[in-house]
Structure 1
Amino acid sequence: MRRLSPLTLFVLSAFGWILALTAAWSVVSAWTSYPVGVLSHMALEQGAPMWVRQVRLSPGAMEVDTAISVPVAQAGGRRGEVSIEVRPAHYAYGLPIFLALVLAARGKGRLTRAVGGYVLLLPFQAFSLTMSALMQMVLAAQTDIRLLRVAQWQMEAIIYGYQWGSLVVPTLAPILLWLWMDRQFVSDVLVRGWRGALPVAPS
């Protein structure tokens, strides 16, 4: 029986670890993502003080009371200030992906890399969460730059930041971080495995 190549073993192991760790992470994500909310809280208060009145953070949720007032339907023309809620764990699912890659690569120092990766991923996850909160405010104001009191380019920057933060960063950041932290394994196993799988050109 032919033995599986190191590259194949890594792929199968990583897939199995992702399934197992994602299931475990879904149970504790409210707590592991709490620091993400703390960083986002700080970013919102420092970066958008003209919009943010108060941020309330609890495990699993972050509520933002804003200074953005919009007309309230069936309220006689009165206006109400917008409140939004975002979930820090919604953009923190890259953690089990990163941990799965670290465990599948084996080798020494896995605990150190796991802890270091968790800390290094927090700013990326906070960026995604912050952009999601800002995007909700923009949508609540119906993208009215006069109501938001911002320039057109600032609103477009929020929209592009939200797209990157929701579609690209949560998945790409953990993979790139692992490639950097486990670059010796990548060079010895993955690169050599890919080269070995390439068809040999006829002479």
Structure 2
Amino acid sequence: MPMHPAEESPADAPRRPPVLVRFALWAFAGVVGLTLLWTQASPWLSYPVAAVSHVALEQVAPMWVRSVHKRPGLIEVDTTVEVVAPQSGGRRGEVMLDADPGRYAFGLPIFWALLLAAWGAARAPGRLQRALLGYVLLLPVQAFSLVMYLLMQLVGATGLDVRALRVEQWQVEAIVYGYQVGVLVLPTLAPVLMWLLLDRKFFTDVIVHGWKQSLQAKRRPAARESAGG
């Protein structure tokens, strides 16, 4: 009879930590190690984020975007919005935006670390396919975060001036709200949700099952003490 992935054989129990502990250790080590690697590889791995953001900016803000320039580790946007340049005697200049796409794609090593932890905890198969699929599926989310950051830069440069931006007040408020969600929430939440989506069988069969087993193991001594008393 095959053993459930989360169960331990009697011979293995003294030598191997519980599956939840193994998963947590692998996840911690994976986040640290992959984040260090990410700092070196992000200019190239995040370049597709800049490419998707380029297309999005030209579609959602054509009245503001004059041109977009990209290279690994940097996206620059020339805008048509004019503001008074500081210490220029009242002269006006066009706003230029820039950002590092890797700053808004750091959820990728978190996602990969969770996949690595699943493999380390229970040798779950299909890691490479999920890693590549997750990379592609996270691109739109990361591009949203980058676009919201750039648009918030533009809004901030005008001091929330709807006349300079040539939009309605509700549109400025939508950008502020989108910035809060896209920059402060999604970069860390999206990779976890993506992992739960792509690895839900492992999560259900191993993590949830292991958690239930640990609860049952804690309840047994209390039940015996209660029966003995």
1:45 paired with 2:58, answer yes
1:117 paired with 2:130, answer no
Q: 1:78, CA displacement in angstroms? A: 1.9
- Give the residue type in structure 2 aligned to 1:144: D
Equivalent residue, structure 2, for 1:72? 85
Matched residues in 1 for 2:113 and 2:127: separation? Answer: 11
- Give the residue type in structure 2 aligned to 1:36: V
Equivalent residue, structure 2, for 1:163? 180
Q: 1:47, CA displacement in angstroms? A: 0.6
Query: What is the correspondence of 1:4-23 to structure 2 with a 5 Å cutoff?
Result: 4-23=17-36
- Candidates 102, 109, 126, aligned match of 1:96: 109
Matched residues in 2 for 1:23 and 1:76: separation? Answer: 46
CA RMSD of aligned residues (A): 1.5
Change beyond 3 A, Cα 1:2–1:109: closer
Question: How big is each residue's C-alpha offset from its partner over 1:123-172, in whole Å with a ceiling of 9 and x where there is no partner?
Answer: 00000000000000000010011111111111111001101111111111
- Candidates 204, 208, 215, aligned match of 1:191: 208
Q: 1:194, CA displacement in angstroms? A: 2.3
- Give the residue type in structure 2 aligned to 1:39: V
Equivalent residue, structure 1, for 2:169? 152
Q: 1:2, CA displacement in angstroms? A: 6.5
- Candidates 66, 71, 83, aligned match of 1:58: 71
Secondary structure, in 3 states, of the residue corresponding to 1:142? coil
- Candidates 1, 9, 26, aligned match of 2:39: 26
- Identity %, equivalent residues: 58
Q: 1:89, CA displacement in angstroms? A: 0.2
- Give the residue type in structure 2 aligned to 1:79: R
Matched residues in 2 for 1:69 and 1:119: separation? Answer: 36
Q: 1:75, CA displacement in angstroms? A: 2.6
Matched residues in 2 for 1:19 and 1:71: separation? Answer: 44
Equivalent residue, structure 1, for 2:125? 108
- Give the residue type in structure 2 aligned to 1:174: P
1:180 paired with 2:227, answer no
Q: Computing the radius of gyration over CA atoms, which structure comes out larger, 1 or 2?
A: 2
Matched residues in 1 for 2:148 and 2:55: separation? Answer: 13
1:83 paired with 2:100, answer no
Matched residues in 2 for 1:119 and 1:163: separation? Answer: 23
Q: Can you give the 5+ residue segments of structure 2 that lack an aligned partner in the other structure?
A: 1-13
Q: 1:113, CA displacement in angstroms? A: 0.5
- Give the residue type in structure 2 aligned to 1:22: T
Bigger shift: 66-75 or 128-137? 66-75
1:128 paired with 2:141, answer no
Matched residues in 2 for 1:52 and 1:157: separation? Answer: 18
